[in-house]
Amino acid sequence: MIIIMLGAPGTGKGTVAALLEGELGYKQVSTGDIFRKNIQEGTELGKLADSYISKGQLVPDDVTINIVASRLEEPDVQEGIILDGFPRTVAQAEALDDILAKKGKKVDMVLNLTTPEEEIIERVVSRRICSNQQCKTVYNVVMNPPKQEGICDKCGAKLVQRQDDNEETIKSRIATYMEQTSPLVEYYQNKGVLRTEEVSQRINHLGKDVADEVVRDINK
């Protein structure tokens, strides 16, 4: 099964994807994590990606598509995959369709998350990530703080704030999303695979609620 996570930065895509991975057993694959790992290691791809990401811009399609195409060949995603952060443009979506068609597969569900902008900004600025790449648990120092400040509850590793998790960059990333990525909503709606869910404190409907509902519907 192929599931795609859509939504502006800070809507909780990574959180919901991780919950779905735990319940369904499909591997969560985040292009953002792949890029950040390369940035941390100082690879050529990392330097190239950082030149865009640090400004709140998208990494060029050809670079991203090649990374995802290679990842789709690996054995741990043959039964199912949850793509978080890809595709981000219609061109990427069309390329993904072509890649999957050659493997006799297709996108089964696109989960589109929406959240009010002011809530996104507050959420992102307060976000902390486990520095252990095998864990990567996400916390929020306001809504979902760790038991011990700065330390991951699950593995004990240090929590860090992403360099791009600041108000100026998140506003730029939201604007970029609305311009370049939101057309994907129409693209997948026309294919009949789009499912839109609001994730917001104001309606008391959070990521865990969405994940539980999706798992229940898939297992019907």
State pLDDT tens for residues 62-92: 878 877 887 888 899 999 999 998 898 899 9
Which one, of 196, 217, 213, lies nearest residue 11 by Cα?
A: 196
Active site residue 55: no
Residue 154 lies in a domain: no
Q: What is the pLDDT of residue 123?
A: 84
Active site residue 88: yes
Residue 213 lies in a domain: yes
- Give the end-to-end CA distance of the chain in Å, rounded to a whole number: 15
Domain count for the chain, please give it: 1
Could you say which of 13, 36, 123, 128 is catalytic? 13
- Tell me the residue length of the chain: 220
Q: Is the pLDDT confidence value at 12 over 80?
A: yes
Q: How far apart are CA 134 and CA 191, in angstroms?
A: 35
Residue 130 lies in a domain: no
Active site residue 216: no
Between the ranges 1-15, 49-63, 101-115, 138-152, where is the mean pLDDT highest?
101-115
Residue 121 lies in a domain: no
CATH number of residue 62's parent domain: 3.40.50.300
Phi, psi values for residue 121, rounded to 5°: -60, -45
Could you say which of 27, 71, 162, 171 is catalytic? 162
Could you say which of 123, 128, 136, 173 is catalytic? 173
Residue 159 lies in a domain: no
What range defines the domain where residue 75 resides? 2-115+166-218
Q: What is the pLDDT of residue 101?
A: 95
Mean pLDDT taken over the chain: 89
Could you say which of 36, 123, 127, 128 is catalytic? 127
Active site residue 36: no
Q: What is the pLDDT of residue 164?
A: 82
Torsion of CA 124, 64, 35, 182, to 10 degrees: 0
Question: Is the whole-model pTM more than 0.85?
Answer: no
Residue range 89-124, pLDDT digits in tens: 899 999 999 999 999 999 999 999 999 988 889 888
SS3 of 98-109 = HHHHHCCCCCCE
Mean of the pLDDT values across residues 11-39? 87
Residue 143 lies in a domain: no
pLDDT bucket at 190, cuts 50 / 70 / 90: very high
Residue 149 lies in a domain: no
Could you say which of 88, 123, 128, 136 is catalytic? 88
- The alpha carbon dihedral of 150, 153, 157, 163 has a sign of negative
Residue 175 lies in a domain: yes
Q: Is the pLDDT confidence value at 155 over 90?
A: yes
